[in-house]
Amino acid sequence: MLARQSPYSTATTHLIQAVLLGGPPEAGGDPMLFVYPAWVFLVIAPWALLPLKWAVALWTGSLLFGMMHLIGTLAFRWGGGRTGRTSIWAVVLVLGSLPFMSIAVTKGQLSLLSLGALFLAIRLISIPVPDHSKTKLANAIWRETMAGIFLAFSILKPTLTLPAMAGILIWAIIERRGYTIAGFAACIGALSLASWFAIGNWIPDYMQVLSNTGGAPVLWSLALVAWPWNACYAGVFIGTGVYALIVFIRTRNRAQWFSAAILVGLALFPMRWIYDLLLGLLVPAEAKQVGGLPAASIGIALLAPWGLALFPEPQRWPALVIGLPLAWALAWFALFHYARGISKQGMS
């Protein structure tokens, strides 16, 4: 893109396939297409200024550092700041995340960047807005604007995070959080303008690439289950999202609505690689001092990937892509219908 060449052109696609696959992909295999929005080049471009080995080391190191920080933050919140409980949650989180991170970090996956940006957006939103004091109000405006910017970065890889992004925007519209909406719109606008200046209107080419799935289904998880069970599976999660939206409109339970929106994306839009399912970590992201049934359900969902050893190898990925969202759905139900002390304004 710095050379003003489209990343979606046939020549570029063939070059990607030649470098990564040694030639055209096999029938039904991963086509290795550039399937990101073109604005992602602004994130990647600075690394192109470094020698390749340095760029790889710093990029993967940054992803690993960010993930460990996320794990530490969640462990501290779920453990209520107590050393013993926090340590236990840290161990469980590391074990539960390891199958995903071992692939995502070494591959330098942008899905980790999307996950981290979404988490930061939710954390900034959860900070209460002060009623007075010009300094505190200015800080609140800055936080809300930054939340919108992080929300925009969460869809650098717009697969699983699209429903979550839409859910947060719906919240911002209903709650009249203009600065969050403005931050999101400004960031998306700046990214889009920069990419248009580089290669022009890339959206038609991008849509064309998305339509060429290389023989792989778009709704990958639903294609693994036969009719009518796939419709029932989708209905469970869509129904959960609709229910959470109704509850949010009535009670303003923001945390429950955000969590449900994340769950919908996790169930319906996972890609073919295991690392996208790491988004499940954010289903209970706003929980604090978790115990009892919610803690047990979260622990089961985190450690569930290790149960794949019980399945024959060809069945492991289908079992995980279908089973893990169901495990997180049970955790969601336990958190919001059995957990004590959850306020109507969220769990933070």
The pLDDT of residue 345 is 39
Out of 117-121, 206-210, 339-343, which region has the weakest mean confidence (pLDDT)? Answer: 339-343
CB burial of residue 48 (10 Å; 0-12, 13-18, 19+) = exposed
Measured from the Cβ of residue 343, the count of other Cβ atoms closer than 10 Å reads 9
| pLDDT over threshold 70, residue 266 | yes
User: Would you state the pLDDT for residue 25?
Assistant: 78
Residue 130: pLDDT over 90: no
Please give the average per-residue pLDDT across 186-211, as a whole number.
87
Would you state the pLDDT for residue 218? 56
Q: 274 Cβ partners below 8 Å, 6+ apart?
A: 99, 100, 103, 305, 317, 320
Whether 255 and 348 have beta carbons less than 8 Å apart is answered as yes
98 has a pLDDT exceeding 70: yes
Mean pLDDT for the chain overall: 86
- Residue 2 tokens read as 């710095």
Distance (Å, rounded) from C-alpha 164 to C-alpha 184? Answer: 14
pLDDT tens column, 159-174: 778 899 999 999 999 9
Nearest Cα to Cα of residue 216 among 110, 115, 317? 317
What is the pLDDT, as a whole number, of residue 131? Answer: 62
Output the pLDDT for position 132: 60
Q: Is the pLDDT of residue 210 over 60?
A: yes
Element of type H or E holding 60? helix 52-78
pLDDT at residue 133 in the model: 62
pLDDT tens digits along 19-39? 888 888 776 666 777 878 888
Round to the nearest angstrom and report the end-to-end CA distance of the chain: 42
Residue 220 — pLDDT band, cuts 50, 70, 90?
Answer: low
Of 149 and 102, the one with more pLDDT: 149
| Contact (Cβ atoms closer than 8 angstroms) between residue 290 and residue 298 | yes
- What is the identity of the amino acid at 179? Y
* Secondary structure letter of residue 216 according to DSSP: -
Bridge partners (DSSP) listed for residue 343:
346
pLDDT at 136 over 80: no
pLDDT score, position 343: 39
Return the percentage of the chain with pLDDT > 70, whole number. Answer: 90
Average pLDDT over residues 324-343: 79
Distance of alpha carbon 191 from alpha carbon 194, whole angstroms: 5
- Residues 165 and 338: their CA atoms lie apart, in Å, by 27
Q: Are 244 and 335 in contact (CB under 8 A)?
A: no
Determine the Cα–Cα distance for residues 279 and 296; give it in Å rounded to an integer. 19
Mean pLDDT of 230-242: 92
The domain segmentation of the chain, as residue ranges, is 10-337
- Contact, 108 vs 67, CB < 8 A? no
Written as one string, the DSSP assignment of 80-143 is: TT-HHHHHHHHHHHHHHHHHHHHHHTTTT-HHHHHHHHHHHHHHHHHSPPPSS-HHHHHHHHHH
Question: Two tokens at 290?
Answer: 């978790």
**Which range (56-65, 128-137, 148-157, 335-344) has the least confidence?**
335-344
CA distance 288 to 89: 12
Say what the pTM is. 0.89
Comparing 66-80, 231-245, 279-293, 305-319, which segment has the lowest mean pLDDT? 305-319
What pLDDT does residue 339 have? 52
Q: How far is CA 307 from CA 71, 299, 313, in A?
A: 21, 13, 12
